[in-house]
Amino acid sequence: MIQWTMKWMARLLVLIALAVTGLWFVGSQGASTAFATWFEDRRADGWAADYDDLTVKGFPYRVDTTFTNITLADPDTGVAWQAPFFQVFALTYKPHHLIATWPNDQTLAVPTEKLAVKTEEMQASLVLEPGADLTVERFNLDVDTLALNSSLGWQLTATGIDLALLRQPAADSSDTPSATYRLALRAQDLAPPAAFRVPSDIDLPRSFEVFQADLEATFSRPWDLTAIEDSRPQPTALDLKRADIVWGDLKFNAAGAVRIDNLGYPTGKITIRLVNWRDMIAVARASDNFAPAVLDTLEQALTFVAGLSGNSAQIDIPLSFKGGATRFGPIPIGPAPRLVLR
At 284-315, the pLDDT tens digits run 888 777 788 878 878 888 888 887 776 778 88
At 60-103, the pLDDT tens digits run 667 788 999 999 998 888 899 999 999 988 877 777 888 899 99
Q: End-to-end CA distance of the chain: give it in Å, rounded.
A: 70
Asked whether residue 196 carries a pLDDT value surpassing 80, the answer given is no
Q: How far is CA 68 from CA 51, 85, 280, in A?
A: 6, 4, 44
Sequence-distant (6+) residues with CB within 8 A of 287 are 193, 194, 197
Asked whether residue 189 carries a pLDDT value surpassing 50, the answer given is yes
Mean per-residue pLDDT for 135-157? 93
Beta strands in the chain (DSSP E): 48-50, 53-57, 62-74, 79-91, 94-101, 105-110, 113-128, 136-150, 155-167, 180-188, 210-219, 235-247, 250-260, 266-275, 314-322, 325-328, 331-335
Pairing of strands 79-91, 235-247: unpaired
Question: CA-to-CA distance for 63 and 60, rounded, in angstroms?
Answer: 8
Q: Would you say how long the chain is, in residues?
A: 342
Q: Quick one: what percent of the chain has pLDDT higher than 70?
A: 87
* Residue among 71, 66, 40 nearest 53 (CA): 66
Look at residue 59 in the predicted model and tell me its pLDDT: 53
Question: CA-to-CA distance for 228 and 235, rounded, in angstroms?
Answer: 16
Handedness of CA 328, 330, 331, 334 (dihedral sign): positive
Question: CA-to-CA distance for 309 and 91, rounded, in angstroms?
Answer: 59
Question: CA-to-CA distance for 202 and 195, rounded, in angstroms?
Answer: 11
Question: CA-to-CA distance for 289 and 95, rounded, in angstroms?
Answer: 46
Look at residue 219 in the predicted model and tell me its pLDDT: 95
Res. 195 pLDDT band, cuts 50 70 90: low
Which strand (E) or helix (H) includes residue 15?
A: helix 2-44
Look at residue 178 in the predicted model and tell me its pLDDT: 87
Q: Are 242 and 188 in contact (CB under 8 A)?
A: no
Residue 283, phi-psi category: left (phi > 0), alpha (psi -120 to 50), beta (remainder) = alpha
Look at residue 290 in the predicted model and tell me its pLDDT: 77
Q: How far is CA 72 from CA 49, 67, 136, 139, 239, in A?
A: 5, 12, 21, 21, 33
Q: Are 291 and 285 in contact (CB under 8 A)?
A: no
Res. 13 pLDDT band, cuts 50 70 90: very low
Asked whether residue 218 carries a pLDDT value surpassing 60, the answer given is yes
Res. 8 pLDDT band, cuts 50 70 90: very low
Look at residue 94 in the predicted model and tell me its pLDDT: 78
Question: CA-to-CA distance for 48 and 32, rounded, in angstroms?
Answer: 19
* Residue among 147, 182, 180, 186 nearest 163 (CA): 186
Look at residue 222 in the predicted model and tell me its pLDDT: 92
At 73-83, the pLDDT tens digits run 988 888 999 99
At 26-70, the pLDDT tens digits run 444 455 677 788 888 888 888 899 999 988 876 566 778 899 999
